[in-house]
Amino acid sequence: IADGVVGSQNHKYTLLREEEIEDALGVKKACWVIEAVPVTERQIKESENSKRIIWVDKQHYAAIQEHYFNKNGVLFKKRTSSDVRPYPASGQKTVWRPMRIEMMTVATGHKTTVLLNDFKVDEDISPKLFTRQYVETNKL
């Protein structure tokens, strides 16, 4: 398993169990529950996480829930995803990506929800999309 952000060479992945959970919209999903622990010296030092527990939807191989544990091993954030849809990728492949993502800070209960309308897979993203000016002038 590679998580696309840090890569499989930086983490050790362990299958903990299989279980059924509800995604962010309450849809039941059969999942593999996987633990990701940083293993390289650099990743251990730079990551704010001591580990992550990831629920991967067996049907679409999409991470629909993730728990983040701080350096002291305490759960501090939870991410849930839902509305998983197919998208064409390179090599005539199809990848499944969530269109709704919620991140919650455990201590405060604060949630941020991201709703996606559409996106492209395997295409370059312009750096200007990540500027303050672009974000402030292209609000919904």
pLDDT tens-digit readout, 53-65: 999 999 988 899 9
pTM: 0.76
Separation CA 105–CA 19 (nearest Å): 24
Q: Which pairing describes strands 63-69 and 11-22: parallel, antiparallel, or unpaired?
A: unpaired
Whole-number Å distance between alpha carbons of 119 and 58: 23
Phi (first) and psi of residue 139, to 5 degrees:
-75, 155
pLDDT in tens, 6-50: 456 788 999 999 999 988 788 899 999 999 998 888 888 888 889
CA distance 99 to 116: 5
77-135 pLDDT, tens digit per residue, is: 999 998 888 888 778 888 888 888 999 999 999 999 988 876 665 667 778 877 888 87
